[in-house]
Amino acid sequence: MTAAVPPLPAERVPRHVAVIMDGNGRWAKDRLRPRAFGHHAGVRSARRVVRAASDAGVEVLTMFAFSQENWHRPEEEVSLLMRLFVQTLRREIKSLMKNRVRWRFIGEHSAFPPELQALMRETEAMSKDNDGLTLLIAVGYGGQWDIAQAASRAVAEGLTPSAEAIEARLVTAGLPPVDLMIRTGGELRISNFLLWQLSYAELYFCETLWPDFGSEEFLQALRWFAGRQRRFGRVPEAA
């Protein structure tokens, strides 16, 4: 039996959580199975975490599913991941509509299979008026690309690429900044995820491989976050 844990006070729940879902390959390797086995298990973890975030009252959840650098993986793994994205989208859309989840896909999508691109656009259009969790799936995403595309657009509009002009053109424009970034799988790096948006995020790294990460681990990260003192460069408030 697990001990009862007091619920998190609403004002201590992060508004925006971003997750680097890492460790699928190692999880499969530990079981002497192909990497694909780990990616399939990873989809189940993603489902659990979306539900946990929604239940906890998180407003925005951004999940890193495929980086621009992941294009350099063997062709077989890339195409498996593409198929898995299509399959997962088709399978999940109904239940996520029921749960009022609003989907958005962030990244450079032109190299993705046309079927997947169409499915991403359809899912976004279908869910755009939902009022539950905003779920951002980062696919073909790179933090440097995001900043560069925002700056280029500002310049093309005849503006000076100031911090405000860039921020307003990032793929996350209009959403709250990331409060909590979680990376599973034990690596202590950002791997070109949301570079700008993580400026003042609290960073939570854990050894747990992504397929073993579930609602309890997610709540543990939220509890850790609730205990952090955020200063944003100021001096701490007097006790």
Give the binding site for ligand IPE (CB under 6 A). Answer: 20-26, 64-67, 70, 81, 185, 187, 189, 191, 210
Residue number, 76 or 115, with CB nearest to Mg ion: 76
Pick 135 or 151: Cβ nearer ligand IPE? 135
Q: Least separation, in Å, of the C-beta of 182 and ligand IPE?
A: 11
x-or-dash string of contact with Mg ion, 10-49, rule CB under 5 A: ------------x---------------------------
Residue 42 or 151 having the CB closest to ligand IPE: 42
* Active-site residue (options: 24, 55, 70, 129): 70
Minimum gap (Å) between residue 80 Cβ and Mg ion: 15
Q: Which residue bears the tokens 């998180």?
A: 58
User: 179 an active-site residue?
Assistant: no
* Annotated catalytic residue 70: yes
Closest approach of Cβ 183 to ligand IPE, in Å?
8
Return the residue nearest Mg ion (CB atom): 22
Contacts of 173 (CB under 8 A, 6+ apart): 167
Q: Report the alpha-carbon distance of residue 28 to residue 41 in Å, rounded.
A: 9
22, 24, 146, 179: the catalytic one is 22
Sheet holding 202-205, edge to edge: 102-106, 134-141, 60-67, 16-20, 180-183, 202-205
Closest contact distance (angstroms) between CB of 28 and Mg ion is: 12
Binding site for Mg ion (CB under 5 A): 22
